[in-house]
Amino acid sequence: METLLLLTRWLHIAAGFTGFFVAPVAMWVRKGGPAHRRWGQVFFWAMVVAGLTALVLASVKGLTFLLLTGIFSLYLACFGYRSLYLKQLGHGQRPTLLDWLGVGAGLLVFGGTLLYGVLGGVVPSIVFGAIGVMLTGRQLWSYVRVAPPAPGQWLLNHISGFVGAYIAAVSAFSATSLTFIPWPVNFLWPTLLIVPPMVWVQRRYKQQFARQHWAARVEALRGG
């Protein structure tokens, strides 16, 4: 049993470090190109392995907070990856059973994370739980609404999911390894550092998609 846990721990470390170094590469190269897709795939599967091994280790050791963090990272990675296959949501495409199960599980987990943080006074759990509930709530709304989402919403979801998974992974590493940083700063600094530029990038893409959508509508009216 100890040998299996040790191997799981080393696999978790290897996958985590792979994700740490690959994510910046995927974000740096040209978006949508072969290199971006290749490194994005590597990052996704690294996060899946790191998340699953984190669940095993946290469950065995009874680390509730790290268990919730592992689920958070795993969910966001899957959310970001799945968004690439839901580009036509609201335009005739409907979510699959797997999508419904995923968003339901996400609401339960993030709601539990938020409750755990509120009852225990754990600030990072409150922050991560609230963000998770907001994301899954918005995702659920996109599944049930009839009107199509905003232009390019799939890309914004892709960015939120993958960057969020990266933040969660770095936060967990910082909380467990960078002990010279006081709590809860050692858990929250990746969020404070990475979220603002992510929001800035998303706003630029949102404006770009809005301009393209408006131009397409004008062209369609001219053609009519």
| pLDDT score, position 224 | 45
CA distance 29 to 37: 10
CA distance 177 to 94: 42
pLDDT in tens, 64-122: 777 777 888 888 999 999 999 888 887 778 889 989 998 998 898 889 889 988 998 88
Give the structural domain span for 150: 2-223
> Amino acid identity, residue 104?
G
Tally of CA atoms within 13 A in the half-sphere of 166 that contains its CB: 27
Q: Where do the DSSP E strands lie in the chain?
A: none
How much is the mean pLDDT over the chain?
85
Count the residues in the chain. 224
Give the residue from 152, 159, 153 showing the smallest Cα distance to 26. 159
The two three-digit tokens of residue 39, written as one number: 């490194």
Q: Which helix (H) or strand (E) holds 196?
A: helix 185-223
Q: Tell me what the mean pLDDT of segment 171-188 comes to.
A: 85
In the chain, helix, strand, coil percent, each to 5? 85, 0, 15
| pLDDT score, position 214 | 56
| pLDDT score, position 215 | 52
pLDDT in tens, 188-210: 899 899 999 999 998 998 888 87
How many domains are contained in the chain?
1
CA distance 166 to 151: 25
Q: Tell me what the mean pLDDT of segment 180-194 comes to.
A: 88
Query: Before 184, cis peptide (omega within 30)?
Result: yes
**Which of the two residues, 216 and 138, has the higher pLDDT score?**
138
| pLDDT score, position 11 | 92
